[in-house]
Amino acid sequence: MALRDTMLEKARPHLQPGEQVQAVFGGQKISQWWLLLSVLILVFANKYRVVVVTDRRILVLAGTTWSQSKVTGVLAEVPRSVQVGPPSGLWWRCTSLGEPLHVHRRFHKDVVAADVQRPAHPSGPPPAFPPPAFPPPGR
């Protein structure tokens, strides 16, 4: 089973009935660049996160220290209208989902897919008729 499929399977209990998953990707609390300083920092300070983007909301789920595919609970629920990306670089730092989240390049296509499917009008459909245009004052 692929990593994304495993993450989605573990996240299913936290989804609402009828909620459609649009993207799922993983991240971690601290950057892997800390490995250059000390492995102990990664072992004790790092926690994995699973982000599930649905048609209704974005869920940030808590993972464990050792596995990116295990889910222990919901950390944050973000409105679906939030733009997650655009990602760049080897380890992209995402700040739009609450706590900073470091996302590896292998998940960048999932972040882009989530942003492409983001609703154009977060508060509902646009009005049927445009509002009337008033002439500028002083004319």
> What is the tens place of the pLDDT at every residue in 9-67?
999 999 999 999 999 999 998 776 655 566 666 666 778 999 999 999 999 999 888 88
Q: How far apart are CA 113 and CA 53, in angstroms?
A: 10
HSE value, Cβ hemisphere, 13 Å, CA-based, for 12: 6
Q: Which residue has the higher pLDDT, 70 or 122?
A: 70
Q: How confident is the model at residue 30, as a pLDDT?
A: 78
Tens of pLDDT, residue by residue over 102-135, are 999 999 999 999 999 998 765 554 444 445 455 5
Cβ neighbour number for residue 66 with a 10 Å cutoff: 10
Residue spans of the domains in the chain: they are 1-7+22-52+79-121
Q: Which residue has the higher pLDDT, 59 or 70?
A: 59
Q: Which residue has the higher pLDDT, 2 or 123?
A: 2
pTM: 0.79
Q: How confident is the model at residue 69, as a pLDDT?
A: 80
Residue 19 sits at φ, ψ, to 5 deg, of -75, 130
